[in-house]
Chain A
């Protein structure tokens, strides 16, 4: 499985945008980039995913580099409730068919400063 690299921790001020980076230099052409987050004392929750184009949803935006070797999760206006561990994960739906599983790293712990 292709690996991802994320900073261990980041801080951001409340009500400011947050850019969470992820490097995935060994990404294959069929790997989708998925982001999950884990709030304190809760299970992970799906945030967003994409393949090549930038993606937006109600929670966040995902900016994918043109060479796909890196991506950035963007929280447009961070609130205290966004304090969590954010995981960047690669998924290959073709080679993983019949063996679907998510592989979690240690993620980025995001602290929001009031």
Chain B
């Protein structure tokens, strides 16, 4: 049972480069999320999705794009990397909806450094 898988685990980008952070889950969860965590801070929501084909912005969406073509995958795209995007990125999934007897499952994170 893999849960939520993120790749890569580490990446160094130069300013202006682009990359895609991959996230896939095998739990058939409808809801998926991308968070970023800066050093010593809590997690901030970037984008989320309530199902295939449906995405919406979170607190800090600027500089990022997402897509959700399948239930399993929710990639996060950085188009023009900036030093301010240096952070640890976490993907998560959940059953969502009105059910409360569930929790979010998080991936192990991608540590991104922009130089």
Contacts and interface: CB of A to CB of B under 8 A. Distances in A.
Whether A associates with B in a native complex is yes
Interface of A: 32, 34, 36, 41-46, 49, 51, 87, 91, 93-94, 97-107
Interface of B: 4, 31, 33, 35, 40-45, 48, 50, 56, 58, 90, 92, 94, 96-100, 103-109
Contact of B100 (A32, A36, A103): A32
Interface centre among A99, A100, A105 (most CB of B within 10 A): A100
Contacts of B103: 34, 36, 46, 49
A98 B50 contact: yes
B106 A93 contact: no
Instruction: Summarize A's interface: helix, strand, loop or mixed.
Output: loop
A80 to B, nearest CB: 20
A36 B104 contact: yes
Contacts of A107: 42
Nearest to B41: A106
Chain A to chain B: the 7 pairs with minimum beta-carbon distance, closest first: A46-B103, A43-B106, A104-B42, A104-B43, A100-B96, A43-B90, A106-B42
B42 A45 contact: no
Choose among A41, A43, A46, A107 the residue with the greatest number of B CB atoms under 10 Å from its CB: A43
B108 A42 contact: yes
A41 B109 CA distance: 8
A94 B100 CA distance: 10
Given A97-B97, A99-B56, A100-B96, A43 B50 contact: no
A96 to B, nearest CB: 9
A44 B98 contact: no
Contacts of B109: 41-43
A103 B43 CA distance: 8
